[in-house]
Amino acid sequence: MPAALLLAAVLFACSPQSHEADPALWRVVDREGHVGWLFGTIHSSDRPVNWRTPAVAAAFERSGTVMVEVANLADEREVAATFAELARSEGEPPLSLRVAPQDRPAVEKLLKKSGHADHDFAEMDTWAAALTIARAGAEGEDTRYGVDRAVIAAAGARPVLELEGAARQLGLFDSLPEREQRDLLAAVVKEAAAPDRGLAKSWRSGDMTAIEKETRAGLLADPELRQVLFTGRNLRWTGLIARQIRSGKRPFVAVGAAHMAGPDGLPAMLAARGFRVVRVE
């Protein structure tokens, strides 16, 4: 999965035309007939996205609650304050010394592109530095066009429930050992050097095979990072989603499309808990 696109979910020249999309959607039903839906999203785009296909629109209108990773995506000031509090450190080495020698030219290039100097991160944890410079690698992508935000904005009177929240999500990165934080930084640098825009295209066509392939690359190819940032989160979310479905709340769950992919994805995990999970689009 492209590192910059995943990290854009944690951080937060416009075209008049929107992207048409046919994204994946699943219906989830328990033994009593209580229903919910799983909708994979993208967290950023180069322009607005027309995500409401007839099937998605019908499911969304039937839903009683909306579940997302972070509910206050539009409140960038609050998210930034949380980030600053968790990111704070002191006496850290220059960023170029936190990667392998062969990656240092790429770090220098990315720093220049982002408008930062090597010594700017002396008071910032490595994970936070990685997220900061990742934004430079996501050139042309804008989180204002993220489908998560669009779903939240369309929720109306329905409750919007957080599966995680910004503090907990950023806290996952903050809890990583330094060695894993540096692996994260290395993945960001490599992704920026050779960006892969395939995830957005795969999402628009509902190609979950391609999306699963993306989840086996980049930072999620690292077993420790994968456990913390993907598998562990999906396990925790599965319990929360299951509770909402069984209580009859009819949740419309809108999270990053990568979280739907493969045997560690939300559809597979809910099926393993005895739910009937059917892809409807």
Q: What is the pLDDT of residues 26-59, one digit of tens each?
A: 999 999 999 999 999 999 887 888 999 999 999 9
Q: Are 131 and 185 in contact (CB under 8 A)?
A: no
Rounded CA Rg of the chain? 19
Residue 209's H or E segment, with its range, is: helix 208-215
Q: What is the mean pLDDT of residues 171-195?
A: 90
Q: What is the pLDDT of residues 213-223, one digit of tens each?
A: 988 888 899 99
Q: What is the pLDDT of residues 92-124, one digit of tens each?
A: 999 999 999 999 999 999 898 888 999 999 999
Q: What is the mean pLDDT of residues 72-93?
A: 92
Higher pLDDT, 265 or 146: 265
Higher pLDDT, 16 or 186: 186
- What pLDDT, on a 0 to 100 scale, did the predictor assign at position 113? 86
Question: pLDDT confidence of 246, banded at 50, 70, 90?
Answer: very high
* Residue 31 token pair: 């033994």
Q: Whole-angstrom Cα distance, residue 193 to residue 109?
A: 9
Q: What is the mean pLDDT of residues 81-89?
A: 95
pTM: 0.88
Three-state DSSP state, 28: strand
Question: pLDDT confidence of 61, banded at 50, 70, 90?
Answer: very high
Q: Are 185 and 130 in contact (CB under 8 A)?
A: yes
Q: Whole-angstrom Cα distance, residue 73 to residue 89?
A: 25
- What pLDDT, on a 0 to 100 scale, did the predictor assign at position 21? 84
